[in-house]
Structure formats: C-alpha cells, structure tokens
C-alpha cells in the first residue's frame, strides 16, 4: 500500500520531507529487489514449513493452490501439477501438514508464496527417521532374514485375522475369503489398529489368536497416513509378528506403504484383500476342478477295469472254444480228410509205377520173343513128325520131312545131303 491517506486534522505531525531528495523506485524495481532478496536466500529456497491447510483448491490445470497458516500468520502456497501427482494424501482444509519448498515472489500481485514440492502430515519426517532407525536395528538382529520366513499353507482350514473389528479391511478380507474359500474357518481377534492403545492390543491379539492354532494369520489394516499406520512399526508389534507360531501375512495400507511388520511377516501383501488372496492359494474353484478330475479318474479306472474283464472273458471264451469237443471233432475230421487225401495220392502213384513196370516187362518180353529174329531172315526148323527144333546136323537124316518157320508163316522141306 503505497498510497497515503492524508487526514491532516487527525494527524497533527506531518512527516518532514528530507532536505535531500531520495532516489525513487518504480513498483517493478522495488518488487524485483524484494524478489532478489527472498529468492537469493538459500535458506528460503530449501525450507520446511509447518502449518494448517486452508483454502485448498485444485482447478482443472492440475496445480494445487492452498494457504498454510498458524495462529498468527498465513502463507500462500502453490504445488505444481507434477509434484501434486506424487502426493500420497489428498489435501484437505484443516489438515496439519509440513510442506517443503522454496519461497518465490509473484510480481504481478506483489505476493510472496511458497512453491511446495512435498506436503505430508505433520511429524511424518521425524516418524520416517524413527522408522529407518528401528528398521536398521531389527534388521541387524536378523528379524527380517529371508531364512526365517515360513511357507504359507496352500489350503488352510483355519485362518486367524488380527485387525480392527469394524474397518473396511475386515469386510474386504471376509468377502475375499467367502468368495475364494468358504470352507475355511475364520477366527478374528479384533484390536484397535491406531493410537497409543494399538500396539499392546495388537500384541495381545497375536498371542490369543496363536492359541487358537490357526494355519495362517492375516495381520491387516486399511490405508492411512504414515502416522495412522504407525502401530505396525511399533517394535513390540514387529517382535510379536516375528515370534508368531503360525505364519503371518501382513497386509497393511496400500501398495506403496511399507511397515516393519511387512518385513517381519512371513509374507507381505500390498493390501488386506491381497492378504486374504495370498492365504487362499487354492480356491473353491480349484477344489471343484480337482474333484472333477478325481471323478473322471475313478470313472475311467472303473471302465478300464470292466474293459479288462471283458478282454479276459473274450480270451477265455476263445480258449474254451479251442478245447471244446466240437473243435476236436473238426480236428479229427480234418485229420481223416488228410489221410484220405494222402492215401488216394499214394494209390494213384503206385498205379502209375505199376503201369511203368508192366510196360517195361512187356518190352523185355518182346525182346525175348524167338519169332522176332525171324524178321531179320532167320528161320526155325522143326521135325515134321514131332516138331523138335533142329539145331544140329546129326539130328536129321537125308530124306526126312521138316517144317521151316519164317516170319510170316511155314513151309515143308526135305533133308538133302546132311554133312557135318
């Protein structure tokens, strides 16, 4: 406000103008000088401010405009779209936060403001330091060792749940279990999940749920700020998780939230719903599939068995046929036929041999026929009176009647002049 409102009657003492005139600055020059002053201060360019949010507005540009205030002062603040996209919490009026950023001057309005790049619930920075310290300590103790992790049973019969008895987390988990494995029995140990009473209550709930001997325990809580989730970073709770007899699946907050209980648990789930899913790796659908498979197996085994039996019966039937009298008669018949066939052929064969033999004999007989030589000019001479064959001169006397046989007949002759 550079305009003086002059009210001479009320202000009796006028400022005395200096004897030497001071150099004048334009508004722009002055504002630029202020800007240089603020934006040149390294401490103001990397500053944390604690305050309460008010006038939060998020226009279509995606930038977030708000005011940080405390009892006595307020500070305009802007968060650019790219930083706003990384915010883990949605900014609400009245929220106690700590903002990090740099102080800048907006010359057209003559305003200084903070360009915030990070806004988080108040105390989170300190909590995070504490988180890192505890994590390092417990890690060094070996509480988070991979070797300590136990198998999660694939088909649990009893699931223990430690969570708030009223939150959405419990409802989500029960719905998930109901959908995936309604056969399972659930035992709930309700416990407050935030505030000072939460850690001892969670420790007690883990102990009493373990006495129910569940196959697996789901330790869960819905999303919230780091402070809200803090009970799950409490050393007592972390130690109770590590000491649990039953394996623990920890599903606290959202995907991006990590608590020390996540590290100490046998399995970390990104959300309560995911914890319930990881506890039921085999679902009722899988069981139904398995059952169908069993049904098909006994069916096929039994029909195989019956087919086997049929085969055995068929084999026996054919063996029976083989040894039946009918079959023997057939065999005998065949044997007989065979013999008949063989005897017939033997007979024929012998006849042929006989015929050849007879022809041979006839031939030989032929060659022995004395009359055969007559054809070659020889003659048989016999005595006329007694038909003795004459082969020597001394058998005959001169004048004796003889008969001469040649090839085609006989004629008579008389012995003349026998000489020897």
Contact 94, 53 (CB under 8 A): yes
Contact 76, 114 (CB under 8 A): yes
Show Cβ contacts of residue 374 under 8 Å, excluding neighbours closer than 6 positions: 380, 405, 406, 407
- Cβ proximity to other proteins: between 163 and 259 the closer is 163
Q: How far is the CB of 84 from other proteins (least distance, A)?
A: 33
Among all chains, which residue has been given the structure tokens 């005139």? 21
List of long-range contacts for 336-341, beta carbons under 8 Å, 24+ apart: none
Token pair, residue 340, equals 């008949």
- Cβ proximity to other proteins: between 110 and 200 the closer is 200
Q: How far is the CB of 287 from other proteins (least distance, A)?
A: 6
- With b for 16 or more beta-carbon neighbours within 10 A and e for fewer, the 193-219 pattern comes to bbeeebbbbbbebbeebbeeebbbbbb
Which residues, listed in sequence order, are joined to residue 75 by a DSSP beta bridge? 68
- Cβ proximity to other proteins: between 196 and 294 the closer is 294
Q: How far is the CB of 182 from other proteins (least distance, A)?
A: 4
Q: How far is the CB of 238 from other proteins (least distance, A)?
A: 22
Q: 82, 90, 91: which is closest to 115 by C-alpha?
A: 82
- Cβ proximity to other proteins: between 41 and 308 the closer is 308
- Cβ proximity to other proteins: between 95 and 276 the closer is 276
Token pair, residue 181, equals 């494995």
Q: How far is the CB of 258 from other proteins (least distance, A)?
A: 28
Q: How far apart are CA 354 and CA 265, in angstroms?
A: 114
- Cβ proximity to other proteins: between 166 and 407 the closer is 166
SS3 404: strand
DSSP characters over 5-47: ---TTT--SPPPPPSSPPPP--HHHHHHHHHHHHHT-GGGGSE
- Cβ proximity to other proteins: between 291 and 401 the closer is 291
Q: How far is the CB of 272 from other proteins (least distance, A)?
A: 15
Q: How far is the CB of 186 from other proteins (least distance, A)?
A: 4
- Cβ proximity to other proteins: between 137 and 291 the closer is 291
Q: How far is the CB of 211 from other proteins (least distance, A)?
A: 6
Q: How far apart are CA 201 and CA 234, in angstroms?
A: 12
Q: How far apart are CA 202 and CA 208, in angstroms?
A: 10
Q: How far apart are CA 239 and CA 138, in angstroms?
A: 9
Q: How far is the CB of 185 from other proteins (least distance, A)?
A: 5
- Cβ proximity to other proteins: between 300 and 331 the closer is 300
Among all chains, which residue has been given the structure tokens 């417990």? 138
DSSP state of 152: P
Judged by the rule CB under 8 A, the positions of this chain that interact with other proteins are: 157, 165-166, 171, 174, 177-178, 182-190, 205, 208-209, 211-212, 284, 287-288, 291, 294-295, 297-299, 301-302, 304-306, 308-309
Q: How far apart are CA 235 and CA 356, in angstroms?
A: 127
- Cβ proximity to other proteins: between 116 and 177 the closer is 177
Q: How far apart are CA 51 and CA 96, in angstroms?
A: 6
Q: How far apart are CA 232 and CA 243, in angstroms?
A: 15
Q: How far is the CB of 316 from other proteins (least distance, A)?
A: 14
Token pair, residue 106, equals 């907006």
Q: How far is the CB of 284 from other proteins (least distance, A)?
A: 6
- Cβ proximity to other proteins: between 284 and 404 the closer is 284
């Amino acid at each position: 406000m550079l305009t003086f409102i002059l009210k001479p009657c009320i202000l009796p003492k006028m400022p005395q103008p200096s004897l030497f005139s001071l150099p004048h600055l334009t508004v722009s020059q002055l504002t630029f000088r202020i800007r240089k002053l603020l934006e040149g201060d390294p401490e103001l360019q990397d500053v944390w401010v604690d305050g309460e949010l008010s006038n939060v507005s998020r226009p279509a540009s995606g930038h977030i405009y708000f005011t940080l205030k405390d009892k006595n002062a307020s500070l305009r603040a802007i968060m650019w779209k790219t930083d706003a996209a990384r915010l883990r919490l949605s900014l609400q009026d009245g929220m106690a936060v700590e903002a990090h950023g740099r102080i800048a001057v907006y010359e057209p309005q003559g305003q200084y403001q903070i360009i915030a790049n990070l806004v988080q619930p108040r105390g989170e920075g300190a909590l995070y330091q504490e988180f890192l310290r505890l994590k390092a300590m417990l890690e060094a103790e070996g509480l988070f060792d991979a070797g300590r992790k136990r198998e999660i049973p694939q088909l649990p019969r009893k699931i223990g749940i430690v969570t708030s008895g009223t939150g959405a987390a419990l409802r989500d988990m029960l719905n998930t279990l109901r959908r995936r494995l309604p056969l399972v029995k659930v035992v709930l140990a309700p416990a407050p999940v935030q505030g000072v009473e939460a850690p001892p209550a969670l420790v007690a709930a883990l102990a009493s749920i373990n006495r129910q001997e569940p196959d697996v325990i789901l330790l869960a809580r819905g999303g919230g700020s780091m402070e809200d989730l803090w009970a799950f970073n409490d050393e007592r709770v972390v130690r109770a998780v590590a000491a649990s007899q039953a394996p623990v699946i920890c599903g606290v907050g959202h995907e991006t939230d990590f608590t020390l209980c996540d590290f100490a648990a046998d399995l970390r789930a990104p959300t309560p719903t995911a914890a319930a899913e990881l506890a039921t790796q085999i679902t009722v659908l899988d069981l139904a599939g398995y059952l169908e498979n069993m049904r098909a197996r006994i069916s096929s085994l039994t029909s195989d068995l019956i087919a086997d039996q049929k085969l055995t019966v068929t084999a026996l039937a054919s063996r029976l046929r083989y040894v039946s009298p009918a079959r023997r008669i057939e065999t005998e018949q065949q044997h007989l036929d065979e013999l008949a066939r063989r005897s017939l052929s033997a007979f024929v064969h012998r006849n042929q041999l006989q015929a050849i033999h007879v022809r041979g004999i006839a031939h030989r007989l032929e060659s022995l026929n004395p009359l055969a030589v007559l054809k070659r000019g020889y003659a048989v001479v016999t005595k006329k009176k007694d038909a003795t064959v004459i082969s020597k001169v001394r058998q005959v006397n001169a004048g004796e009647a003889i008969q001469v046989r040649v090839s085609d007949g006989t004629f008579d002759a008389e012995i003349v002049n026998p000489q020897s």
